[in-house]
Structure 1
Amino acid sequence: MNVAFEQIACYLREEDPSLVESIVIKAQLALKGKQVLPGTQGKLEYIGSPPDWTHNKFNDKGYVWTLNRMQHWRTLAQAYLLTGEQSYVECIRRELADWIARNPCPPIPEHAEEAAVLFNGLDGWRQLEVGFRMCEVWPFVLTVLKGIPGFLDMLEEQVKDVVRQHGVVLRQISPMLFPNADHNFYFTQMAGLLSVSILYPDLPDAKEWRKFALDELDRGLVRQFTAEGGQVEGCPHYHNAVISHLSKVVYHAMRSDITFSPFFLKRMKLAVDYAVQTCRPTGAAVPWGDSDPDEYPGEIAWIGALIYGTHKQLQIVQGLMGRARSTSMANKLFFHYPELFHLLRDSDQTEEPGNREEPPRLYWHKELKQVTMRSDWSREAYSVFFACRLPVYNSHAHVDPASFDFTALGKALVIDPGRYGYWREPERRHFKSGSWHNTILINGNEPFEYVDSWTFGPQESGWIEGCEDDGEWLRASAVHYSYKPSVHRRELVLVPGRFLAVLDTLTGLQHEDIVSQYWHLDAEDVRWDDTEQMAASFNKDVNVAVYSSGGLKGELLPGLISEAMDHSRPSVRLELTDVANTKPTRRYATIIVPYRGQDRPLCKVQLHETGENAGCVVAYKGELIHLPLQG
């Protein structure tokens, strides 16, 4: 066994037995052909070993594609390293031989139209899975199998040839399908191509593939990552996934003396910054667009420090996650990044949170039209992610212009619900809809049409107008024209330690137009008080109250929150409808107050208008706070 693997296995057995137990349990289930995959609704189901690689058993395209990523092989390989039990690697070898025999590579066509058909099918050769296997799964698994003397002798030539076929597909098909290098798929594919050239450097085309992949990764960074560091789709999950896939290959490439351009390394450092800035104070990613509130930021922080030297960002995320959670994340990465083992023990990376240099409280990603504001960089911070980007970049976006995600006191409170999945209706429609976000609808109409999972109707324009941190408040404003001729302008004012104010102005309304606000609360027990014009959650620990400026009809609606694909849990949505106002210009002030236990702070909000000037007065715990409305 590889010496580094032996050291890591010994360390994990001693220091993180719960992780070892988790890996072994999953591996034992995989031996029995049982997995959780897209389409199984978060439940353990019998898949088979070897499975039927192309049978869509659960009527979910993601099932076939994810099965063909073979992620359970990583678990089996890790279980072997941790226990020495040969049955785990024998299972991989058996399934590997079966997959090679039953999944021949399609012919390589000359034209993109034919390539799009042959390599986007419901089988093991969809181009994304080809890249994913080569950068995420096979390099590690083959390293483990080759470390067992004679274990792959009977399969070695077949394995090498099928890896070569992967290289051919990635070199010839991927550029046909993504000539502009402007999709997250393409990054995974070029990382996979680079990985092939490292796995088998003696392949005839390995040198050319390596050069091409390195050039395309630079081109992809120009096309896919903004000068401010964000991946162009604007979804934290896909941003982090691209860094994760790519960095595994970058790590092994550097160990093979492959160099990357200064531009590449600088842009990747900025990408790590974005991952940190779009992290809730809880340490989870903001689930904006097709994203989950996952712990990707913890992974990105560790590999960023190891590969790109972003040690300050690691310290920030450690402070948010806590040392125990952060260490647990590192433990999960050791087999892929053996040198991370030494970084964890490096005393230079163990500064106490109070000694670290903190980033600014305000982060405006102008190109992605996103703003993050937070009271500070502690886990208890008041923090809001705010975005308004129309037209959308692609269909990973949701129908949510000028919506936001608010966290305070260590808990997500008024939230983006996540993504849940891609192929099931009506869940997909719900999770993408405006009424499941923190938005405004007019006459019950969404800001733009949801056609199907991957298609929207036409959109108008929308953007972030500006933001500032004046030392006391943090403020950001957005505008969009989805309801032409009406215009919706929204301002968020974060008053640290007190509340988040949401100030909405709608102009150009017709006499009969009905305006409805929607607020999605991470709670199962929410109560509306019509007299106070206030809704409050009744959680055991941290709660939130939503105070309206008045005159609205309140209704509590069922919702769902998804924290992982195919998983959801109940929540409550608050609908506030203005049924009486007939003015062409209508203004609303909503004050969102977090608090612990049931000790709800006294708060009242009152709008005032004098000619063109408008604002609101918030009475919070006896203190009067004046907030002008801009626009």
Structure 2
Amino acid sequence: MTTLNQVLQNPNMTVEELTNTLNERFQGDYDRLKAIADYVKTETETQFLTIMEMTDGKLVEKTYEMTSREMILMFADKAMEGNLLLVGTNNAFCFVGNPPAWFAYPEGVSDVEFLYVLNRMESWVMLLQAYLLTEDEKYALKVKQELLDWIEQNPRPALTTNNFSGGEGVAAPWRSLEAGIRMFKTWPSVLQYLAGTGLLTADIVEPYTISVYEHLEVLYEISPQYYPNADHNHYIMESLGLYAASVNLPELKDSQTVKEFAKLQLERCASIQITDAGGHLEGCPHYHNETMYYFYFAEMTAKRDGDQMSADYQALLDKAVSYTFHTLRPNGRNVPWGDSDASDSFPVRMGVYAYEAYNDPTCLEGIKSLTGETAVKKLALEYIWDMTDLTGFMDYLGKPAEAAISLPTSSFQKDEGTRDLKQICFRTDWTTQAYSVFFACRVPIYDTHQHIDPMGFDFMALGKPLIVDPGRFTYNGNEQEVTPVNGEKISGNFRKIFKQASSHNTLTVDNKDPFTYKDSWTYSYPSEEAYIGWINDLCDGQVLAADAEQHNFLPVIHKRLIAFVDNLYLLIVDKVEHLETDSKVQIYYNRDTERENLKITNGEITDSSDDVRVAFGATGNLESELTDGYVSDAMDVLRESVIVKYQDTETSENRYFGTVIVPYQATEAAPVISDVEVQSNGTVTYQKAGEDVEGEEIRISFSVNNESYQFSWITGKELTRI
């Protein structure tokens, strides 16, 4: 059994001396946090919390409007009873034990992520905030009880690589990721919130310190073996945990060596994981904003230690802000591409920590310009507990944005090799009413956080997400029962459903996905690289277009064009070549609206949504039908949507399809889309990168409200109006 003198640099230091040292060291944190708590008591700004609650034997959606203080106390009081809101519980509070059963699933829960998140102890922070807000020691004593119980119930396994990896939960609660998160996000709060109160006592300081040292051994010796290339978001969190703990407890043996190593790893992570175009290596907007928060937190940790990260490190973070902006929908929520949520809070959190780390308001200014300062303030209140200048920060939050986002309205996330995200974002302007498209074709994928639907896209216009990427919903690869928002209980393998192509805005051949889903984290796919390109910004911005090509259906090849026309219409053209005579192509569009709002009458799709509607027009070789779809704005939250599915009626080897999508207000007459035609006009040869390239000219024509449009698409080169 490890003893305190075995983990300290000075083995003669007593637990009483260490306790006094920690109380003195963190007294300033307590004073700062107490001032923040006093401010939160007076803050009247409200925000909405939507959760599922059991009513008359069924889960129903409930929305609460609360101040920040009220929300903290609600979560803290639930935690006092042993009820937590965790992954895998259908966005409902779930009894986890009191104290928690750290390695057990409650009835009806099968998601291993539940165990992982439970062992991050995120409820501790709100319990300790509740302690400062109420001065009721019961909240702090609950944290002390759980800390001691966790340490007693979960002795650290032997330091071998098979004891700390994910797998099927075998490593929970000692998975290396949770070890890292505990060390920078939750366990330091015990020191910060209790210093000088008489509650940071020797009875917890001794086991706490020994356990922190055991955490550092995992993060120093095991984590680098999992991520030798520093190329995964987990390694950022694990290195950050290593860094924060060695800064917070310099009394630990080898803490200086560990600290220097951790800082170096964080620098490595930034240089490897932030691409030349500014995006995060994994290509998921959610994880981009998440990892930038960690990188900013690392700078804050360095400052706490009287140090700083390198200038190159800061330059990389500065570059990453543009990706955050380009991957925001015009409503201020990030596109839920890959394993992402349609989150408004994560971009704001990134901005809050950029402000604290570098006094840089760029990110917050941009989001303010889209959603307004009040909306940003509501979201930022959750994160003010890490601010060192509360008065200055709140004064800044209350001011309108000084200027709109000044970036170009298009972005091509291009790099070399595995760092090439193959993503294109374009929008008509930087207002909330803009038309915006996120379009991607990353083959092969980098890791399994990404989508497996090449040439999918996300489209928003007139302030509403319309043709959407569905998001992630869950990491649980098992069959499960879930209750959609305002719906009846349904069952299925929702990880698979949300990953398959038919949930996305792309196509299949003979109902086969371009990737084969095997399980939650395993897919098979061809290794041949796909192409995506930004082909033009013509006619003073009135025609914005990109095209792509992927070979996942070999010998079948799929080419796609996506374009804005006159800042009013979305045009999608697909060429599918080398098909067998009896093969059929299916094209899918995930319309974010309730099922009863879409109908097919005499072959025409009609939309009766209350606010913004969508008109569809397609080439005559496509037959339409409507099927059930799903959308998830946040983990564990599922809404029903409608899949507009087109199936081709041809038998030719090479087939050409076109879809015209026109958004319009419900108060307006439905636009009439007619005469949509797409046909080949033969091959052409052109120069690209100094070499002759053979492309194809594809002629496109359609009419909207009797106004005709004609275009020439030379694949891989350009789109021109004729």
TM-score (structure 1 length as normaliser):
0.94
User: Is the CA contact (8 Å cut-off) linking 2:297 and 2:357 kept in structure 1?
Assistant: no
2:115 to 59, 64, 83: 64
1:276 to 298, 303, 325: 325
Within 1, Cα distance between the matches of 2:88 and 2:190? 26
Q: CA deviation at 1:627?
A: 2.7
Within 1, Cα distance between the matches of 2:425 and 2:192? 41
After superposition, the Cα gap between the structure-2 partners of 1:304 and 1:621, relative to the gap in structure 1 and judged at 3 Å, is farther
Q: Which has the larger radius of gyration?
A: 2
Alignment of structure 1 residues 128-207 onto 2, 5 Å: 128-207=177-256
For the residue of structure 1 that corresponds to 2:552, the secondary structure is coil
Q: Which amino acid aligns with 1:61?
A: V
Within 2, Cα distance between the matches of 1:317 and 1:535? 35
Within 2, Cα distance between the matches of 1:419 and 1:602? 35
After superposition, the Cα gap between the structure-2 partners of 1:118 and 1:482, relative to the gap in structure 1 and judged at 3 Å, is closer
After superposition, the Cα gap between the structure-2 partners of 1:151 and 1:257, relative to the gap in structure 1 and judged at 3 Å, is closer
Within 1, Cα distance between the matches of 2:657 and 2:667? 26
2:638 to 536, 544, 568: 568
Report the equivalent of 2:519.
452
For the residue of structure 2 that corresponds to 1:335, the secondary structure is helix
After superposition, the Cα gap between the structure-2 partners of 1:287 and 1:608, relative to the gap in structure 1 and judged at 3 Å, is closer
Within 2, Cα distance between the matches of 1:357 and 1:26? 36
Report the equivalent of 1:469.
537
For the residue of structure 2 that corresponds to 1:155, the secondary structure is helix
Within 1, Cα distance between the matches of 2:166 and 2:625? 48
Within 1, Cα distance between the matches of 2:375 and 2:405? 21
2:335 to 286, 290, 295: 286
User: Is the CA contact (8 Å cut-off) linking 1:364 and 1:467 kept in structure 2?
Assistant: no
User: Is the CA contact (8 Å cut-off) linking 2:473 and 2:498 kept in structure 1?
Assistant: yes
After superposition, the Cα gap between the structure-2 partners of 1:119 and 1:420, relative to the gap in structure 1 and judged at 3 Å, is closer
- Asked if residue 554 in structure 1 is aligned to residue 624 in structure 2, the reply is yes
Alignment of structure 1 residues 68-83 onto 2, 5 Å: 68-83=119-134
Report the equivalent of 1:264.
313
Within 2, Cα distance between the matches of 1:303 and 1:467? 36
Report the equivalent of 1:443.
510
Within 2, Cα distance between the matches of 1:376 and 1:69? 41
For the residue of structure 2 that corresponds to 1:88, the secondary structure is helix
1:8 to 22, 29, 36: 36
Within 2, Cα distance between the matches of 1:160 and 1:368? 42
Q: CA deviation at 1:357?
A: 4.8
Within 2, Cα distance between the matches of 1:119 and 1:153? 37
Report the equivalent of 2:373.
323
Report the equivalent of 2:149.
98
Q: CA deviation at 1:565?
A: 1.6
Within 2, Cα distance between the matches of 1:25 and 1:365? 42
For the residue of structure 1 that corresponds to 2:660, the secondary structure is strand
- Asked if residue 595 in structure 1 is aligned to residue 669 in structure 2, the reply is no
User: Is the CA contact (8 Å cut-off) linking 1:461 and 1:482 kept in structure 2?
Assistant: no
Within 1, Cα distance between the matches of 2:273 and 2:678? 45
Report the equivalent of 2:357.
307
Q: CA deviation at 1:156?
A: 1.0
1:361 to 401, 409, 418: 409
Within 2, Cα distance between the matches of 1:310 and 1:509? 54
Within 1, Cα distance between the matches of 2:251 and 2:708? 73
Report the equivalent of 2:438.
385
For the residue of structure 2 that corresponds to 1:502, the secondary structure is strand
Report the equivalent of 2:581.
511
Within 1, Cα distance between the matches of 2:651 and 2:585? 10
2:698 to 610, 614, 622: 614
After superposition, the Cα gap between the structure-2 partners of 1:104 and 1:252, relative to the gap in structure 1 and judged at 3 Å, is same
2:76 to 4, 27, 30: 27
**Greater CA drift, 165-174 or 317-326:** 317-326
Q: Which amino acid aligns with 1:108?
A: L
Alignment of structure 1 residues 329-408 onto 2, 5 Å: 329-339=379-389, 341-346=391-396, 350-352=399-401, 355-366=403-414, 367-408=420-461
User: Is the CA contact (8 Å cut-off) linking 1:136 and 1:245 kept in structure 2?
Assistant: no
Within 1, Cα distance between the matches of 2:559 and 2:216? 50
User: Is the CA contact (8 Å cut-off) linking 1:298 and 1:321 kept in structure 2?
Assistant: no
**CA deviation profile, 1:167-187 (whole Å, cap 9, x unmatched):** 111111101111111111111
**CA deviation profile, 1:216-272 (whole Å, cap 9, x unmatched):** 111122322212221111111112222223433421321321211111111111222
Q: Which amino acid aligns with 1:555?
A: E
5+ residue gaps, structure 2 = 1-26, 46-66, 415-419, 480-492, 683-696, 716-722
Q: CA deviation at 1:496?
A: 5.4
Q: Which amino acid aligns with 2:547?
A: S
Within 2, Cα distance between the matches of 1:340 and 1:605? 60
**Greater CA drift, 384-393 or 451-460:** 451-460
Q: CA deviation at 1:101?
A: 1.1
Higher strand content, 1 or 2: 2
**CA deviation profile, 1:36-71 (whole Å, cap 9, x unmatched):** 222222222211221111113322211111100001
User: Is the CA contact (8 Å cut-off) linking 1:272 and 1:310 kept in structure 2?
Assistant: no
Within 2, Cα distance between the matches of 1:288 and 1:317? 19
Q: Which amino acid aligns with 2:562?
A: L
Q: CA deviation at 1:522?
A: 0.4
Q: Which amino acid aligns with 1:358?
A: S
* RMSD after superposition: 2.1
For the residue of structure 2 that corresponds to 1:212, the secondary structure is helix
User: Is the CA contact (8 Å cut-off) linking 2:427 and 2:437 kept in structure 1?
Assistant: yes
TM-score (structure 2 length as normaliser):
0.83
Q: Which amino acid aligns with 1:563?
A: D
User: Is the CA contact (8 Å cut-off) linking 2:441 and 2:548 kept in structure 1?
Assistant: yes
Within 2, Cα distance between the matches of 1:546 and 1:341? 51
User: Is the CA contact (8 Å cut-off) linking 1:475 and 1:492 kept in structure 2?
Assistant: yes
**CA deviation profile, 1:344-378 (whole Å, cap 9, x unmatched):** 3138x93546x335110001101200011011111
**CA deviation profile, 1:407-460 (whole Å, cap 9, x unmatched):** 111111100111111113311110000010001111111112111111111324
5+ residue gaps, structure 1 = none
For the residue of structure 2 that corresponds to 1:346, the secondary structure is helix
Q: CA deviation at 1:553?
A: 1.6
Q: CA deviation at 1:497?
A: 3.8
**Greater CA drift, 592-601 or 306-315:** 306-315
Q: CA deviation at 1:141?
A: 3.6
**Greater CA drift, 617-626 or 193-202:** 617-626
Report the equivalent of 1:434.
501
For the residue of structure 1 that corresponds to 2:281, the secondary structure is coil
For the residue of structure 2 that corresponds to 1:520, the secondary structure is strand
Give aligned-pair identity as a percent: 33
Within 2, Cα distance between the matches of 1:441 and 1:151? 60
- Asked if residue 223 in structure 1 is aligned to residue 272 in structure 2, the reply is yes
Within 2, Cα distance between the matches of 1:156 and 1:246? 29
1:502 to 572, 580, 586: 572
Q: CA deviation at 1:94?
A: 0.8
User: Is the CA contact (8 Å cut-off) linking 2:79 and 2:127 kept in structure 1?
Assistant: yes
After superposition, the Cα gap between the structure-2 partners of 1:74 and 1:536, relative to the gap in structure 1 and judged at 3 Å, is farther
